[in-house]
Structure formats: C-alpha cells, structure tokens
Structure 1
Amino acid sequence: MTDARALIDNAVKTHDVVLFMKGTPQFPMCGFSGQVVQILDYIGVTYEGVNVLDDADIRQGIKDYSNWPTIPQLYVKGEFLGGCDIVREMFQSGELQTHLADKGVQVRQPAA
C-alpha cells in the first residue's frame, strides 16, 4: 500500500488538477465520474485523470488518503475538493470556477 500512497501523493502534488475516477476522462466507467469529467471539460480545465479500476491498491488508497469513502475525488493544487455531489454543487453556483481561478488554474467559463 505504501507504493500506492506514494503514487497518489505524487499525482496530487505534481498536477494542478487531478481526478481519481472510475475509468478514464475519454471513457468514464461510472455516472458520477462521468459527471465530473463533463463539468471539468465544460469549463475547459486541464486535468489529469487517474483510473482507480486499474489498481486495487490505488482504489482503496485514495479513500484512505482523503478519508473520503467514495470515488470520484477531485484535487486542486494538492487540496482535496470533493466528490461528484460537491463538485456539481460548486459548479452550479459558480464557486468551482471561482475556486479554480483563485488557485491560478485556467478556466474557460469564469464565474459571473
């Protein structure tokens, strides 16, 4: 599990935006992961997708890392932002776009 933790820690710290998800951004394997992908693609954010289905240690490890029981999980500048429901609510209110912009992440759809 330490290798998985190191891999997770590296992904979170080396990418401005990283999404731990089921499947890939091009082919999400669950509806919740697909919703977050659609939101990030819509606002034009460049992000790294990590497919937790490829490695059982990473799938469990990300839950332990964040102390959050579900996947997908979105990280921005090393900070855990939330899962699908939180990301969707933040997007709908404009808070996601503002948060990303405040962190220096380029977005296509800035909050009004």
Structure 2
Amino acid sequence: MSLIFFRGIRDYFTWCDALERTSNYWKGLVLLTRVNHQSTVRKSDFKKDSIYAKQWIALLKKNHYHVDSKEEAVALLSFMTEMIIDSLTNWIINQSDTQDFLRDFDYRVKWLTQGITDKKKEDDEQ
C-alpha cells in the first residue's frame, strides 16, 4: 500500500493526540473504543454505487493499489478500518505514550508494506 495513505492515518492520530481530552470528538473516540467496533463497519452497509464507495475506489486507483474487484476493495476498507480502530483502542485503553503508540503503528505499516520475513533471491525463484 502507498505510504502516503498510512502517513495520512498517522497524521490523523497525531491530530487526535492534540485534542482536548474533554472535547466531544475525543469522547467519541473513547466511546468507539468501548464498543464492538466490528458492528461499526458492516460490509453490507457499503453500497457499491454510493459516493463513499466511489471515493474509496478513486483513492485506490489514484494510489495504484491492486484490487481485482469492488468486493476486494470493500474487504480492504473493512480491514483498514479495523486496524485503525484497533490501534486507537490500544492507545486509549492502555493510555500509551503518543510516541510509543505511533511507533507501534509504524511497525504495523512496515509489516503490511514490507512483510515480516527476509526475502531472499532464491525465494523469488520458487
């Protein structure tokens, strides 16, 4: 995935860190981390012809993401949403230091974009 995409998410997390903990937005984030977030992202709610879907597909195309179908695009959106909410949940519930939180997010990005194994030339030949 494009690092610009993840940089945008990281910038959002940094923005969230600057929020007053008494603000309604922050309270909404805390509430989001307290509910079953899988119920907040239902694939059936993502109408393939909605403006939201069209914007998501356009973002994927603009950043040269390889998805073979709208169904895969929806699955990717669901996966990314779950990762973002899970990251926020860990941050808020564990009351992590912002730098630790961002480092952990950077690890996730590295794992997704670079993999978790060392790639050797002989691996490519198999």
TM exceeding 0.5: no
In which range does the TM-score fall when normalised by the shorter chain?
under 0.3
Q: TM-score, normalised by structure 2?
A: 0.26
Structure richer in helix, relative to its length: 2
| Structure index of larger Rg | 2
TM-score by length of 1: 0.28
